[in-house]
Structure 1
């Protein structure tokens, strides 16, 4: 099968590409910057090329040469807006809608769309609201596509060697004697990046998954404070965590937003922590994945070991 992976150079995308190649698929990965995906060129059935998927003509041309599409595009930060900012709208709502519409127009029947655990039109953050709107957009397009086979995935926060989650707390422990933390009591259920990739690859040709929305979460639930402590401990620099009020966290986040580069934390990120990011649903058996415990992987990569050797499956 020819599979177009939009967002294939990202954290989850690189692991998914490895799974798909191993399964014998020909994988096409568009990217804005060719250099960003050069490490994927080791895969024999992968084609990497520069393309702007936000251009409808380009998107339709790419879909005319594929049998299935995976949309992994997501952003963590956006300018403020109601119900969500412009960057969230472009990446989480408009792009999924355009991909689904192009699938229907060109005749590509299989679409895997990655949303997020916590997607909610009434959620406290623009991120959550935009993810919910993106889900509704692709469902609306596929509701009039009788041949279409849509599957939506809602992963929890994802961990793995290249993550920006557990590694962030490990970096903070390197520089700070105490880790100040807003939203310290929020509960999360981290899921291993290879489990997310495997679940999607297994679902691609499995008709049992057509038309379904799947929660993809890990084995255990933790508070954010517990995860920060564990990351510091496993990195060899145990640190106490100091819970701070949301208004203090907001002030810090506002400062980060005005600094150059990608912010360490945004006010919208803090809004997401107002609700728990957990699920009581077990991993669906048709996805063919047994979730990997955080404790069996994170300690080694945080202390500098290499148990997770990148996107190889």
Structure 2
């Protein structure tokens, strides 16, 4: 089954090299069916809006000129990668909120994957995420692939973050969805699927609040609970034990540590897509985790997720 056949690629206007486009071509060339790629760019220049000397028609004409120039530039990028197996088009819009225009395009053309590059800071070596990245992770209705520049190795490894600590039906369904996504990507990339789960350390005040509870036995009990839950999950999906990792610690520490150990080319995780105060607490775990990773990240929403930017749905 080819999961991704209608890709939306966010073009980086500040660089000639386009790792997100390259990644989309990788997916298309490995696919057994024809894949459609739409190269998307939202541009905006406040100076064109603030010029009172020009009439509205003149400003509109100037905007159209800039859009046309950008379309020609994107066409030159496409010409270097002409292939009969891939249907490539481009779409340039004038919009002051790139993430909103991208999500609108996802809805308009029913894209099943959005691909966007992130960049490392030249001096610090840290990956720089723009506000648009975080908005897309929270609000985009389709999966979002954040590309960090490195290529996908042949016969590489995929690391999928699951949550086996909860018996909540929504978490169980999301775990299954993440693993299904992993297996689909595994077939596409000829990569090995690995699972990782992080569980909390023993609270420091457990001996005060529960004096009858031995901290060591409490720790053993938590670990055993997660190991058994992970065993059940891996057996359900026919994944070998040596390809599962269940470690004590915070997800934003454990997941990058295991990814580095495996030299994973792709990490797959779920994002709640919550807004408001709940997003501050729930969303930060995923975002802090992504901050620490040096490989591509595929962020998946749970089934039933409704974007606040869904047409005719108010925020």
Q: What is the TM-score with the length of structure 1 in the denominator? A: 0.32
